[in-house]
Every structure is written in C-alpha cells, then in structure tokens.
Structure 1
Amino acid sequence: MKINLKKIIFTILPIALGVLLIWYSLSKLKPNDIESIKNSFKTANYWWVACSLLLGILSHLSRAYRWQFMLEPLGYRPKFANNVMAVLVAYLVNLIVPRAGEIARATTITKYEHIPFEKAFGTIVSERVADVIMLLGIMALAFIYQTELLSSYLFKEEDSGSGYTSYILGALAILGILFIWLIRKSENPLVIKIQAFIQGLIQGVVSIFRMKKKWAFIFHTVFIWTMYVLMFYVVTFALPETTHLAFGAIIVGFVVGGLSMAVTNGGLGTYPVFVASALTLYGIDENPALAFGWIMWTAQTAMVLVFGGLSFVILPIYNKDEE
C-alpha cells in the first residue's frame, strides 16, 4: 500500500506542480502582456516550428537506429520500425510518469521482439551514459557562456571582465580538483554512491569504445544531440524578437530548458518560464521570451503526444503476425 501511495505521489506531484506554475505565471501577466503573447503566437512563422519538429523526428530515428548497435552484440536484430515506436512510446510515457519511459521502452521491445527485459533495459542504461556525457559537455559549454555574461554584468569594463572570468574559471578548476580528491578519500555512504555513479559512467564510456561499431554509435550520439540543439535554434527564427540571438543564448536557453524537464513531467509549466528567464538575460523582452518558450514546448509536446499515441495503436497491428 505504501509503495502504491509513493508511486501515486511521484506521478501526481510533478503534474500538480506544473499546473500550479502555469497558473502562477499566467496570474502575473497583465492584460496587455497576455495580448502581446497572443499576438506573438498569431504572427509566428510556423514553418520554422515545422522544421524544428522535422529535426526532432530525425533525432528519434537516429536514437532508434543507434539502439541497434547495442542489441546486435547480444544476438538480436529487432525490426527498425519496432525500435522507433518503442522510443516514441518511451517519450510519451515520460510525459505521464517521470523516468518510466526507459522501462516502457524495454517492455515494448521485449513484448514485440522477444528480447529479455533485463538485456533490453541494460542496453538503454548504457545508451544513457553516452547521453549524459553529451549533456554534461553542452552544460559545460553553456556554463562558459553564462560565466562571460555574468562577468559582463558584474564588471563594467570589458577587459577587466574577461580577466575576472579567467580567475573564476581557475577557482572552479581548483575546486573541481579538490572535490575529486575528497570523493576518492571519503567513506561517507552518499559519497560512495557518487563514486559508484562516476565509475559506472567511466565503465560505460569504455564499453562504447570497445563496441564493434563504436564510431557509428558515437556519430549517432553526436547527431542526436546536434538535432536537439538545432530544434531549439531554428524556432528562434519564428519570432522577430529572437531571430538574432547569439550562440551563447541558444546554448544557455537549450540547457535551461532541458533542466526544466527534470522538474515536472515533460517540462509542464516549467519549460516556458525557465527558457524565458534565460532569454531575458540576453536582452529579449519578457513577453516574446515567454511566447518563444510556449511555442517551443507546445510543439515538442504535441509531437510526442501524436507520434507516441500512434505508436501505441500501430505496434500491435504491425506485429499481429508475430504474436
């Protein structure tokens, strides 16, 4: 009973938080703000939004194809269509139950391709290691750009600002080395878990380089995350206010939007607010920044709902002769 209650809480709480954030953000808007955002929606160039969705589809296809490189060494060659639909089902389930998508993906491929669940799930976990490495790399890039931005706010003179940035980065490097040293020496249970997580990442990276088709796997990993960034980037051309955003703003906005996905289901209520807060740092007015966030989130969510829902319907029909 306690387990069921815990599951219900962890399922409903993020959705409730997302709804609350939507209500709160809308309640702060004045009538002329709402009118301004509506006007942005009306005048947006949705061809760029459609282009973003196409890039998203390419990333999903690439993710499904990349999965094959993990399954083949285990002796399994599932149909590509089943791989694609399993990936789409995972995204849909994640909108409803956080972090349950990976389980749904493994369950789907187990049901329709008869791959043992533990093996399918193991390959998904290994994939996530590569994704975490890519995300950390993009976050590091975003942090560098954000540090430059903050230094320009704190220090008026450009030359001194760049100097202080170097000091900040140097101090962070020293703190990073100190942190690693403490992690290696400590016997605290929490620190031991962190050690195990880091070791798992290292082992996962090593296993990728031992893979038979490692370069193809690495190419698709880079391709997937490039598509993610480009999905964000091309939508900036949909609104005149965001057309001329600098590369740093794109990276920072992308990372902030990605982090919002961990707070609520699929970034419900958080994605537009988080992205808008990032874009306003780069001189974008709050209303078009919010409109951009809502357009981006709505398009992504609609894509997942449509293609994930279709996958649920098509999977049993497509595999009816195999059952």
Structure 2
Amino acid sequence: MCLFAVFLLWFFGRTLNWQEVRESLGKANPIYITLAVLVICLGYLLRAFRWKVLLEPITESSLKELFATTTVGFAAVFFVGRAGEIVRPMWLPMRDRRVRPSAALVTLGLERIFDLAALICFFSVTLLFFDPPAASKRDYATQFALVKLIGNLMLAGVVVGFIGLFVYHKFSAPIIAWFERVTDRKFIPQRIRRLFLSLLRQLAASLQILKSVRELFWVVFWTVALWFSIAIPTWFVILAFNLPFHIPLAGAMFVMFWAAMGSLIPTPGGAAGAFHAVTAGGLIFLGVEQNDAAAISIIMHLVYFAPALIFGFYYLFHGDISIARFRSLLSSEHAVEEIEEGEENEVSGSMFQVSSPKNVNELETET
C-alpha cells in the first residue's frame, strides 16, 4: 500500500508546475484556514455525540472517551489507511469498560451507514441546485450528466439500504435464529460463528434506535451537523485561495463528495495521493486551474487530518495505553482476538452487569 501511495502521489504531481503550486500556497488566507481547522475540530466532537447516541440502546458511555477514541482512530487511519478503522472499536473498550468490543464495532458500522447515506444525500441535493460555471458545463456536459445519474442511483441505493435495515430490525430474532441453524456446521469454526452471531445480535440491539423517534432524530441531527462541519471547512479552504470566480457552498459540497471518495482509497497518509488527485479533479471540474486545484487539495488534506493527529498523539501519550499496545491494535488478526476475548468475557457474565436493560440480552432470550 505504501508503494501504491507513492505511485498515486507521483500521478498527482507528474504534470504540475510546482513553482506555481508553491506560489498559490503562499497566497492562501491564514484566517480562513484557521477557521476551517476550528470547525473540523468541532466535527470530531459531533462524531462523539453521535457515537454516544448510537451506543445508548446497548450501554452507557463516556463522551470524553468517545472523543478521545475518535481522534485516535482518525490518527490511525492517517498512518495505516482504512485498516486503522479497527483501532476505534478496540481502543474504546480499554478506555471505557462498559463498552464491549463487538458493541463498538457494530455502532462503528452504523456510523458508516449513516455517513454514507448523508454524504450521498448531500451530493444528490447539491446536484439538484448547484449550477456549475458556464465553462465547466460546456467542457464537461457529458460528464456532468453522468455524475448526476450516478448520484441519483446512489440515492436509490441508500433508500434500499435503509429499507433493509428496517426489515432486519423488525425480523432480527428469526433472522438470527436462522443463521444460528445454518452456521451450526462442523466445517465452520466455532469462534468465527460466535463472533458472527454476536455481531448480528449487537446490530439488532443498536437498531433499537429505530424504535425511538428521539434517538433516531438525534442520530440524524448529529450526522447532518457533522457533514456541515466538513462542508463548511471545505468551503473556507476554497475561499482562502481567493479564486477569480466564486464557488458557493453547494460547490464546496460537490468537492467534499469527491474528497470523501478519495479518502476511501486504503493508502497510508490519509489516502495520500488518492485524496489529492480526486479532490483536485473535482475542483478542475468546476473550472479551477490545475495548479490552484493542487494547492487547495494539499491544504484541504492537512485541514482534514492535522487536528486528529494532534489530538490523537495527545491522548496516545497521556493515556494509560502504551505505544506497543497501540501498534498491536493495527493488526487485524489481533483485533479479532480482542473481540473474541470480549465475547468470552460476555459469556462468563462479567460484562452483562454494565449493559443497559435495552441491550442484546433480550434478543438472545428471544432467539
């Protein structure tokens, strides 16, 4: 992956005039950049608020530890790519003993579902109201029509996905019982079977938020607020470069979508190279000159990830978890062992006592 990241960085910079890129970077307004960083920091807090709401149907949790875990998780993603996502559901149970690894893992999955749904909705709504510059419409008319089609198809996929979640929520007991029967085979390792069934139960428990209008409202509210806390800094970074034409907030949301897509590439350095190339491509699509687009993407990458690195290192060095322990969490094999260990503790009864009455125990009784 490191070699792939190097290739992407080369691909990103191969045709750039780096002298012009440096000049463009030097003209960036530091006030806008500072505002962007502050709003991104607020976004990490909003993630912690949402995570707390997602955990409510399963167990109580500490907002402080949720914030710390969120920043440490993003720091891990920066260093090792998307494989670092596993750090969050493993780190939190070590900081807050009330939260089981499987519960943290499932709610992290729900976060990603809500994030993807919100991002696609933002993108689709943006395409309805955003009018790109005339030059872009002329030069990229076919591509823009294709992007609109893709956005609408993804929106339809989000609707289908949420229908699936509602169906699973309503019929989780028979679905889990069916999987218990079909996975009770000699060729299926029991440890994997227990882990899989536990994740299904935790998913069913976490989907209890669908029963509560209040909890569902807060999840949606924090998710929308979170993505505005990313869209607004994206806009601030664009404004910092004082481009010869104005890009509205809707245009920044368009760029944010492509930046998010670029960040999904599992390369170290916070999707280094991929993030820059895709983000710059979105800006060029809007008529931004290539070297200016490159400069904006470089600053945008720093704004997105630098605060998480600062907070992450702070909590890493001021916490009670060693560097060696942190590095071991980056191994997916070790992470699975940790989850299984958590489940074994659950079976022994040591962790049932800290769970909310609304947790998965009721579902296990049903099944």
**TM-score interval w.r.t. the shorter chain?**
0.7 to 0.9
The aligned counterpart of 1:268 is 272
The aligned counterpart of 1:48 is 32
CA distance in structure 1 between the partners assigned to 2:302 and 2:140 by the alignment = 38
Aligned: 1:28 with 2:32: no
The aligned counterpart of 1:210 is 211
The aligned counterpart of 1:249 is 251
The aligned counterpart of 2:180 is none
**CA offsets 1:82-102 (integer angstroms, 9 cap, x no match):** 111101111111123333344
- Overall identity of the aligned pairs, in %: 21
User: Which SS does the other structure have where 1:245 is aligned?
Assistant: coil
Match of 1:117 among 85, 101, 122: 101
Deviates more, 1:207-216 or 1:86-95: 207-216
**CA gap 1:145/1:269 in 2 versus in 1, 3 angstroms:** farther
Match of 1:314 among 308, 313, 318: 318
Pairing of 1:69-80 with structure 2 (within 5 A): 69-76=53-60, 78-80=61-63
The aligned counterpart of 1:191 is none
Pairing of 1:166-315 with structure 2 (within 5 A): 199-200=164-165, 203=168, 207-211=208-212, 212-241=214-243, 244-263=246-265, 264-265=267-268, 266-315=270-319
**CA gap 1:316/1:243 in 2 versus in 1, 3 angstroms:** farther
The aligned counterpart of 2:88 is 105
Deviation at 1:258, TM superposition (A): 0.9
Match of 2:310, as an amino acid? V
CA distance in structure 2 between the partners assigned to 1:268 and 1:202 by the alignment = 38
Report if the CA contact (8 A) 2:39-2:229 is conserved: yes
Q: Which runs of 4+ in 1 moved over 6 A?
A: 145-151, 167-173, 195-198
CA distance in structure 1 between the partners assigned to 2:281 and 2:24 by the alignment = 17
Deviates more, 1:36-45 or 1:121-130: 121-130
**CA offsets 1:169-211 (integer angstroms, 9 cap, x no match):** 79997x899x98xxxxxxxxxxxxxx88972486579744323
CA distance in structure 2 between the partners assigned to 1:20 and 1:220 by the alignment = 37
Give 5+ residue unaligned stretches, structure 2: 170-205, 322-367
Aligned: 1:64 with 2:68: no
CA distance in structure 1 between the partners assigned to 2:320 and 2:48 by the alignment = 18
Match of 2:299, as an amino acid? I
Bigger RCO of structures 1 and 2 (CA < 8 A, at least 6 apart): 2
Match of 2:14, as an amino acid? S
Pairing of 1:13-24 with structure 2 (within 5 A): 13=1, 15-24=2-11
Match of 2:291, as an amino acid? N
User: Which SS does the other structure have where 1:97 is aligned?
Assistant: helix
TM-score by length of 1: 0.73
CA distance in structure 2 between the partners assigned to 1:296 and 1:168 by the alignment = 23
The aligned counterpart of 1:185 is none
Deviation at 1:51, TM superposition (A): 0.8
**CA gap 1:201/1:26 in 2 versus in 1, 3 angstroms:** farther
Deviation at 1:232, TM superposition (A): 0.4
Deviation at 1:168, TM superposition (A): 10
CA distance in structure 2 between the partners assigned to 1:108 and 1:227 by the alignment = 25
CA distance in structure 1 between the partners assigned to 2:6 and 2:250 by the alignment = 30
The aligned counterpart of 1:152 is 137
**CA gap 1:17/1:197 in 2 versus in 1, 3 angstroms:** farther
Deviation at 1:141, TM superposition (A): 3.0
Deviates more, 1:85-94 or 1:63-72: 63-72
Instruction: State how many pairs are aligned.
Output: 277
Match of 2:68, as an amino acid? M
TM-score by length of 2: 0.65
Match of 1:74, as an amino acid? I
**CA offsets 1:128-170 (integer angstroms, 9 cap, x no match):** 22212102212323554689779932799xxxx9xx97x9979
CA distance in structure 2 between the partners assigned to 1:271 and 1:171 by the alignment = 20
CA distance in structure 1 between the partners assigned to 2:207 and 2:125 by the alignment = 23
Aligned: 1:86 with 2:69: yes
Report if the CA contact (8 A) 1:271-1:297 is conserved: yes
Report if the CA contact (8 A) 2:238-2:296 is conserved: yes
Deviation at 1:121, TM superposition (A): 1.5
